Amino acid sequence: MLSLRSSADLTWPRWVSVCGDGQGRIIGSPFLGLFSGRIGPGALLCSKERQTVGGLKVDSKAAAPEVRASSAAPVRSTAPTPAPTPAPFSTAALLAACELSRADGRHLDGAAQAEQVLATFGITPAECAQARELLALHRLRLGEVEASVRHGLLALEYLVDTGELLRQSQVHCTLALAFHESGLHEPALRHVLGALSAARASGSKLAEFWALSRSSMVHVGMADAQRALELGRQALDLSRLLEDAEARFAGLNNLGDTCLELAKTQSAQGLDPADALREALDNVQQGAALAQGQGHVFWETIARTNLVSILIELRRYGEAREQVGLSKRLAAANGYRNLELDNDAQLAELLRAEGRIDEATAMMVAQLADPFIEDDPARLTRLHRALGEMYKERGHFKFALDHAEKLHELTLRLTRQTAGLQSRMLINTLEIEQARHETERSQLEAQVLRIRAEKLDQQAHTDPLTLLPNRRALDRQLPALMRRAHDRAQPLCAAMVDLDHFKRVNDAHGHATGDRVLAAMGTILTDAIRDSDLAVRLGGEEFLLVFGDATPADAAKACERLLDAVSGFRWDDVAPGLRCTVSIGLAVRNSGERTAHWLARADKALYEAKRAGRNRVESAPQ
């Protein structure tokens, strides 16, 4: 059964993905294990064997699309190899060329371009992430799932940090396919859930469709056909809302594949598969009609091949023979060699289902001798299994044993390859996650050190009793206020503030009460100043106010308000019968005046206020 992921690049590659149960078996065989299906250009494409298919041009950027396959056979095309893409001179041009290679199905070129970007000195993190994102997809299409996962995880880490939800969904889909094709269902499931979450958060219905489609595929691989069916129906319902022919076709085609999987599960359990087969047939027939209406020959070939699988299950052998003939003619006319091989496999299985064992056997033996499949262990496995079963049924035990031994050898080889690949992919994943945790820990440690340093710095520049800035802070902040006033040609006013008769407070009420008075003064001053002002405790009961962005008249009014705030404070809450006032000396800084002289004039004005009776403001002459 052929199940479309997405046909962004309509070319053919020479590689076979081992996917399914991790035992070297291919999940999704529609009839007795000879032909299995999730085929399409995304999993079957290689830049060296590009054969452009006419029909609908699909913009696949939104969903990182590709077409899935588990029955893919290697293709050795006679089509001329396109010339390599000339190397652009800039990183941006390289990335654009890499994107174009993805759209055109030239994955060897695209991988080389992405690697060239990564080898460029001084690329930005964004460029690095984009190159890895594209490289993950190119490597997946070339069958290099281990490299695909490594680059995809690194790209995803950046995209999560930057919050790029749509691209997160695309990379999650790529990773889900890579893990699925390696038989690692748990991480595949984790990534399809991530793809779905990011797609919905981004608001892209097209991305949500592809995430649902990937989710259905992963659940088929997990042998959870019922859940796969639910997800496939959701994807199809969503595709009806989209003006996207590819999504519509994929929704119909993939749901048909899932229904067939459910039907086979039901048959194995002794249940009636009729409803599931009818739904499969209806969806795939609609997909074939859509493909014809779009003039998309490749989609039509896929759909007709899928119809054969369903019709054989329904035992409608005459219709199956008609459809396989149509599909094979389309495949042969358009150079779809993989689909043509699958049609041959269907014909052999059809003969077997009709009881024409000799003809089926002869056809399968001929397929084994076809040089096109010598590098396709998955297809060889299915052929040896089917031949062994037929020879055994007919009592030809020697031939049956020969095929059983070859099947055993192939199965062991596939199992070893799959196990080794799975181990390396999991190790790569763990290493990347460990590196990320180490980076996060280092960043956290640096943040803790920075916070600790900032806290120590703040403590060093803060008076602990009043929580006002201290003299160190004054030395740091006053020059900036002076420069700002100079640049704006504004006056700068300073007010010396001193508690009246503070010694009497300590003598009458104790030093603890005196400390509470000072703390209260810190609160009063903090409430009295603006963001552009500065309030400092100089020591003892003496404070300094510097008024930024204020005229002398405004500063004088602010000082009068401060007198009222202090005298009107509820000092009884500090100590019964306590009353406190302050005296203030105000001075406007003259142009070019030294800081010490300016503040000394304010201090002198303060003492004038004391001599004049306290609880008052005196301004220094300029």
Contact, 248 vs 206, CB < 8 A?
no
Q: What is the H or E stretch that residue 534 is in?
A: strand 534-539
Residue 584: strand pairing partners: 497, 617
Assess whether 100 and 166 both reside in one domain: yes
Share of the chain above pLDDT 90, in %: 50
CA distance 328 to 307: 13
> Which pLDDT belongs to residue 371?
82
d(CA 311, CA 278): 10
295 within some domain: yes
CB atoms within 10 A of CB 431: 12
- Is 26 within a domain? no
Task: Give residue 439's pLDDT.
Answer: 66
Rounded mean pLDDT, 58-64: 32
Angle value at C-alpha 301, between 99 and 349, nearest 5 degrees: 125
Q: Which two tokens stand for residue 10?
A: 């309509």
pLDDT of 225: 85
**301, pLDDT greater than 70:** yes
Domain boundary among 418, 434, 450: 434
Pairing of strands 534-539, 617-619: unpaired
Residue 527 lies in a domain: yes
Q: Please enumerate, as own/partner, the contacts of 423-427 that have beta carbons within 8 Å and a separation of 24 or more.
A: 424/146, 425/145, 425/146, 425/149, 425/178, 425/179, 425/182, 425/184, 426/184, 426/187
The reported pLDDT for the residue numbered 418 is 62
Whether 567 and 500 have beta carbons less than 8 Å apart is answered as: no
Q: Is residue 223 part of a domain?
A: yes
Q: Which residues contact 617 (CB under 8 A, 6 or more apart)?
A: 495, 556, 559, 560, 563, 583, 584, 585, 586, 609
How far apart are the C-alpha atoms of 517 and 272, rounded to whole Å? 89
User: What are the two backbone dihedrals, phi and then psi, of residue 76, each rounded to the nearest 5 degrees?
Assistant: -120, 90
How far apart CA 612 and CA 504 sit, in angstroms, is 19
The pLDDT tens digits for 371-387 are: 877 767 777 888 888 88
What 3 state SS string does 176-198 have?
HHHHHHCCCHHHHHHHHHHHHHH
Specify whether the CB–CB gap between 149 and 141 falls below 8 A. Answer: no
d(CA 171, CA 158): 11
The one-letter amino acid at 33:
G
Q: 612 is written with which tokens?
A: 């004049």
Token pair for 339: 């689909």
In a domain, 5, yes or no: no
Same domain, 421 and 552: no
| CATH classification at residue 391 | 1.25.40.10
- Does residue 489 share a domain with residue 414? no
- DSSP per position, 340-362: HHHHHHHHHHHHHHTT-HHHHHH
pTM for the model stands at: 0.55
Mean pLDDT of the 396-412 span = 81
- The tens digit of pLDDT for each residue in 446-464 reads 787 788 888 887 878 889 9
Look-up: residue for tokens 């399409």?
A: 40
**How is 478-491 classified by DSSP, letter by letter?**
HHHHHHHHHHTT--
Q: 534-539 and 582-588: which strand pairing?
A: unpaired
Mean pLDDT across the chain: 81
In a domain, 483, yes or no: yes
Nearest to 413 by CA among 372, 369, 380: 380
Asked if residue 49 lies in contact with residue 79, where contact means CB atoms within 8 angstroms, the answer is yes
C-alpha 431/C-alpha 555 separation (Å) is 63
Please check whether residues 424 and 525 belong to one and the same domain.
no
Q: How far apart are CA 76 and CA 80, in angstroms?
A: 11
Model pLDDT, residue 65: 36
Calpha distance 66→7 (Å, rounded): 6
**Closest by Cα among 48, 220, 149 to 432:** 149
Lowest model confidence (mean pLDDT) among 137-151, 173-187, 415-429: 415-429
pLDDT for res 373: 74
Residues 523 and 420 in one domain: no
Terminal C-alpha separation, the chain: 96
Instruction: Say if residue 518 is in the same domain as residue 406.
Output: no
pLDDT score, position 380: 82
Q: What is the average per-residue pLDDT within 471-491? A: 91
Confidence tier at 186 by pLDDT (50, 70, 90): confident
281-247-106 Cα angle (round to 5): 115
Question: Considering the domain boundaries, does residue 227 fall inside one?
Answer: yes
pLDDT in tens, 83-112: 444 444 689 999 999 999 887 778 889 999
CATH for 539: 3.30.70.270
d(CA 309, CA 37): 9
Mind spelling out the 3-state secondary structure of 51-110? CCCCCCCCCCHHHCCCCCCCCCCCCCCCCCCCCCCCCCCCHHHHHHHHHHHHHHCCHHHH
Residues 562 and 425 in one domain: no
* Per-residue tokens: 262: 């459910």
Mean pLDDT of 306-315: 93
Task: Give the pLDDT of residue 147.
Answer: 87
CA–CA separation, 5 vs 232, rounded Å?
12
* pLDDT grade for 54, boundaries at 50, 70 and 90: very low
Instruction: Report the alpha-carbon distance of residue 495 to residue 620 in Å, rounded.
Output: 10
pLDDT for 427 beyond 80: no
Q: Higher pLDDT residue, 54 or 207?
A: 207
Note whether 313 and 413 are same-domain residues. yes
The whole-number pLDDT of residue 421 equals: 61
All residues at 6 or more sequence positions from 14 whose CB lies less than 8 Å from its CB, including other chains: 46, 48, 49, 74, 75, 76, 375
DSSP per residue over 554-613, as a string? HHHHHHHHHHHHHHTS-GGGTSTT----EEEEEEEPPTT--HHHHHHHHHHHHHHHHHTT
Task: Please give the helix or strand (H or E) that residue 385 lies within, else none.
Answer: helix 377-393
Choose the weakest-confidence range: 4-8, 298-302, 391-395: 4-8
**What digits encode the pLDDT tens for the residues 113-139?**
999 999 998 899 999 999 999 999 998
Structure tokens given for 304: 């007709």
Please check whether residue 461 lies inside any domain of the structure: no
pLDDT band at 250 (very low <50, low <70, confident <90, very high): very high
Alpha carbon distance 469, 534 (integer Å): 8
Q: What is the pLDDT of residue 436?
A: 65
Predicted confidence band of residue 144 (pLDDT cuts 50, 70, 90): confident
Number of residues that this document lists for the chain:
622
Confidence of residue 435 (pLDDT cuts 50, 70, 90): low
pLDDT higher than threshold 60 for residue 16: no
SS3 316: coil
C-beta atoms surrounding 551 within 10 Å: 13
Give the type of residue at 58.
V
170 and 96 together in one domain = yes
Contact 16, 143 (CB under 8 A): yes
Q: Look at residues 387, 419, 434 and tell me which one is the last residue of a structural domain.
A: 434
Q: Which residue type, as a one-letter code, is found at position 78?
A: T
Tokens of 135: 């490289």
Domain boundary among 407, 434, 461: 434
In this structure, the answer to whether residues 191 and 335 fall within a common structural domain is: yes
**Comparison of pLDDT for 120 and 24, the residue scoring more:** 120
Helix pair angle (145-162, 125-141), 10° resolution: 150
> Are residues 385 and 304 both part of a single domain?
yes
For 408, other C-beta atoms within 10 Å of its C-beta total 12
In single-letter form, the type of residue at position 171 comes to V
Domain count, the chain: 2
Angle between the N-to-C axes of helices 377-393 and 357-368, in degrees from 0 to 180, rounded to the nearest 10? 150
**Domain assignment of residue 615, given as a range:** 471-619
Q: Is the same domain home to 579 and 519?
A: yes
- The pLDDT of residue 84 is 46
pLDDT confidence of 400, banded at 50, 70, 90? confident
What is the per-residue pLDDT for 183?
80
> Given pLDDT bands bounded at 50, 70 and 90, which one contains residue 271?
very high
Answer yes or no: are the C-beta atoms of 429 and 149 closer than 8 Å.
Answer: yes
